[in-house]
Amino acid sequence: MKNYVFWFVVGSHLLYGDECLEQVGMDAVKISEHLSSVLPYPVEFCDVMKSNSDITEIISKANRTDDCAGVITFCHTFSPSKMWINGLSMLQKPWLTFHTQFNEGIPNEAIDMDYMNLHQSAHGDREHGFIGARMRIPRKVIAGYWKNSEVTERIADWQRVAVGAAFSKSLKVMRFGDNMREVAVTEGDKIEAQIKLGWQVNTWGVGAMVEVMEKVSDAEVDAKMDEYKEKYDFSLITSEADIETVRYQAREEIAIKKLLDKEGCSAFSNTFQDLYGLKQLPGLASQNLLASGYGYAGEGDWKTSALCAIMKRMGKKVTDYSDGLSVFMEDYNYDLKNGICLGAHMLEVDPTIAADKPRVEIHPLGIGDREAPARLVFENKPGKGIVASIIDIGGRFRLIVQEIKCIKPTQTMPNLPVARVMWKPEPSLTVGAECWIIAGGAHHTVLSLDVTSEMMRDFARIMDIEFILIDGDSTPAKIEQELFVNDLVWKLKG
């Protein structure tokens, strides 16, 4: 990960004179220093913008600077917006209009016309807002006092999204084999994905993985086994044959990681219909890899895999993205009486969201025609979250996000040989499912406990893809109406 920074571009105008502009600059330094001390990425004050050429130069430089993940603007004084047009027309970085004011209140005694000219964001940022709206440039607007932690938390979330967007633009996805045969929703236009989202999605034969596996040394497998024993519960792995089964997964993980790292890929997918030369479908191998930050989705689902990698980067622990709480998930079964969804997958549930130490177990698979693979079995952490699905709806991508509440699984399910996750969807299991199905959301999702629906809306805006939210206020009729209008809008957008 790069050391991303955000540029703080502060609007003013020459007519206010040197003394006022100097004060604007000093105030801007104080704001940027405070923001840098509380946000996940630093905010660098650029300069006070006084003219068309100042703005054009700074935006052009922001576009060329790889480490600059976004531009934050604030008009301390009035800053006539026609001087922003040339610069903003070329802006390629995510843009946040931060509508704040240097002083939190109105100073009763001190306020006079000079003070009003200096502290004028109340109308300066409205002029600024007009030009953003007039030019139809996608942007985020956050209003509030710059020392207020609720305000800075929202800026922090936007920064994480902007970094996720930068990551998306260079993301490479490795596919082992093609999509599972006859499945529709995992298909999609990879050219469109690269144009809109930047994803480079390419295929490698599973035989390439087998070749690398054969060259993995016993010492490498020993080291990986030590890591597994440290992180996971081995109480059910008792015989020599069991150990050999787990060692095979270790060998698979090492080989997959070597291939991903060699090609610079941060996400991958595979399919149980293409296991040429493999004795076990990767289970524990994939699970441990996912927990270290790689994106994944099964059955060749490159879209969910890519989204998973991006959402992991958007997670709260930005210095150690393996702690981002976003995982590949699949809807499996319902408790219709209590409005609960059970999510799992054949093998590859990411232990990132495990409530306790995951247990290594070995069970045969009903499909895939291979030896019984080792996998991790565990229950999820509880908490508020979302599930997100990205689909190719024909002519555009649609990102569908539903708010959920993960709960401690209500049943033990002793014969279910995989990790299990339970949640209550908004507004309810059945109404939510009606909305989801009307919108065309997939059975594969990314479930997250630290990326919010507002962050996903911001991501969709930055990437210029359709966004549909299912929350506590959603109804099938409202969703249907929104989709109907969206279809027309996106066709007009071309």
Binding residues for Mn ion, rule: CB under 5 A, are 298-299, 330
Closest approach of Mn ion to the CB of residue 353, in Å: 17
Task: Pick between residue 13 and residue 420 the one whose CB is nearest to Mn ion.
Answer: 420
Task: Pick between residue 293 and residue 298 the one whose CB is nearest to Mn ion.
Answer: 298
Closest approach of Mn ion to the CB of residue 297, in Å: 7
Question: Which is nearest to 55 in space by CA: 15, 13, 24?
Answer: 13
Closest approach of Mn ion to the CB of residue 391, in Å: 14
| Non-local CB neighbours of 130 within 8 Å, separated by 6+ positions | 81
Q: How far apart are CA 91 and CA 88, in angstroms?
A: 5
Beta strand 374-377 with 359-362 is antiparallel
Question: Which is nearest to 344 in space by CA: 368, 327, 361, 324?
Answer: 327
Q: Which residue has its beta carbon closest to Mn ion?
A: 298
User: Length of the chain in residues, anyone?
Assistant: 494
Task: Pick between residue 120 and residue 287 the one whose CB is nearest to Mn ion.
Answer: 287
Task: Pick between residue 270 and residue 352 the one whose CB is nearest to Mn ion.
Answer: 270
Closest approach of Mn ion to the CB of residue 281, in Å: 12
Q: How far apart are CA 475 and CA 267, in angstroms?
A: 34
In degrees rounded to 5, what are phi and psi of residue 79?
-145, 95
| Non-local CB neighbours of 196 within 8 Å, separated by 6+ positions | 397, 463, 464, 465
Alpha-carbon distances of 5 from 45, 102, 156, 413, 433, rounded to whole Å: 10, 22, 12, 47, 40
**What does DSSP assign to residue 16?**
G
Closest approach of Mn ion to the CB of residue 342, in Å: 14
Task: Pick between residue 299 and residue 392 the one whose CB is nearest to Mn ion.
Answer: 299
Closest approach of Mn ion to the CB of residue 300, in Å: 10
Contact predicate 209/278, CB 8 Å: yes
Quote the tokens at residue 322.
């393996």
Closest approach of Mn ion to the CB of residue 275, in Å: 15
Is the backbone peptide bond immediately before 427 cis, with ω within 30 degrees of 0?
Answer: yes
Tell how far CA 138 is from the center of its chain.
18
> Which secondary structure element, helix H or strand E, spans residue 376, and what is its range?
strand 374-377
Closest approach of Mn ion to the CB of residue 359, in Å: 22
